[in-house]
Each structure stands twice: as structure tokens, then as C-alpha cells.
Amino acid sequence: MANPIKGATGAASGPGSVGMGWPRGRQTSTNQKFDIKPSPLLTINRPINLYPLTNYTFGTKEPLFEKDPSVPARFQRMREEFDKIGMRRSVEGVLLVHEHGLPNVLLLQLGLTFFKLPGGELNPGEDEVEGLKRLLTETLGRQDGVKQDWIVEDTIGNWWRPNFEPPLYPYIPPHITKPKEHRRLFLVQLAEKALFAVPKNYRLVAAPLYELYDNAQGYGPIISSLPQSLCRFNFIYV
């Protein structure tokens, strides 16, 4: 249950009282006014073009294997790397298409039940956007020598791993001073038409947002939260 906001009834909102905002203990006045100007970076009703799934061609290429053979091995490597280079930085791309009048997210499927967004770990000191472009090319880039142009748009999510354990959170718990991983999700604006080469050990599937919504059991907490993260955009069905 959410905590009630003290002062909402007026008991602690008089002049000279202690404010409930941040920083705590700051003296505020009910007569104080703020001149709030709109940010020049603010975009109302941000449009994103979605093209039909049939616009895209999907080929195959050699398998792309994970660096770690098991979950325990992954966390062991994370421990070793944390001692050397600190917190792991990961980036993932959200690629959208539309089918039957509905937005769909392109997901990589491994086996019957494991789904992931394309992306991965950044190299030490690597720029996030350039690193995501590199990872998208490694994962889905075509093999005929034609350069793929990835247009990386807004950040749509930040997730943190407090410990060397599976859970990730969309915030840093207050008792955690050194998170073990930061995972940032970016919206990637697809071109009107494109060719993707999918590793043979994966399937590329288009998952409608209604199937992801509130479905952490099937897709995990990050992917299942995408409908909420994406609802601020105005999808243009081209």
C-alpha cells in the first residue's frame, strides 16, 4: 500500500513549515512561486514510424553463441570482470514493426521459451550508441557487404543489477552503492525496408505488444514492461 502524503490535509503545509519535497528539511512557503519554462528538448506527441513486417527480408548466417555456457558461468565471469573493470554496461535495441494494425517488437528466440532483445555487453570505454550499432550488426547485420544503417533513437529504459544474481530492477536499491550491471534500452528506428541475417541458432519473432503486456512469466520483467515504456510514443503506421 502506498504511503499517504503527509501535509495533504494541510496539517504541515503552512508558511515556514518543513517541506516534504527534496531535499528533505528544506524550508518552503506557500507563497513561493516558480517560473517553470518548458525544456527546449521537450517533444510532445513524439512520432515513430512503424513499417509492416512484410517490408523486411530475413536470411540466416552462422550461429552466434553466448560467451558463457551456463548462468553460473555468466555470473562468475561478471565477478571476475567487476574486480578488473567495474560495473558491466549492456545495451539492447527495441526494433518495432507493425502487423495486423498492431505494433510488434522483434525478439530473438533461443529454444522454446527464452526470448531476448538484440544487443549485449559494451567494451570498456565504448560509447553506448556506437556499441549498440556494433552489436546489432554482429547479431542481425547482413552478410553481403552492404552496410546496415542503424538509427538509434530515445532511451526507453534503464535497468540495474544490484548483485551477481538474476534479478534486475528499474532503479538502484538505496542500500546498493556499487551495482554490478547497468542495462540501457534504446528505441531503434528501422528503415522502410531492410534485410536481416539471423544466426542459425536463433529465431527472429515479432511479438505484439498485447502479448508482452503483464506477461513477465513468459518474457521476463524487462520485455514485458515494453508496452508501458513505449506508450509515450505516437506510432505512425506507414
Q: What is the pLDDT of residues 152-186, one digit of tens each?
A: 999 999 999 999 999 999 999 999 999 999 999 99
Q: How is residue 134 written as a grid cell?
A: 556494433
Show the beta-strand stretches assigned E in 170-227: 181-189, 194-199, 203-208
Closest by CA to 224, choosing from 89, 116, 119, is: 116
Strands 88-99 and 203-208 come out as: unpaired
Question: Whole domain around residue 209: which residue ranges?
Answer: 55-237
Q: Which three cell numbers stand for residue 218?
A: 513468459
Domain of 82, CATH number, reads 3.90.79.10
15 pLDDT band, cuts 50/70/90, is: very low
Instruction: Tell me if residue 101 falls in helix, strand or coil.
Output: coil
The pLDDT value recorded for residue 145 is 79
Residue 84 in any domain: the answer is yes
3-state helix, strand, coil in the chain (%, to 5): 20, 30, 45
Q: Could you give the number of structural domains in the chain?
A: 1
Q: Taking the model in full, what pTM does it have?
A: 0.82
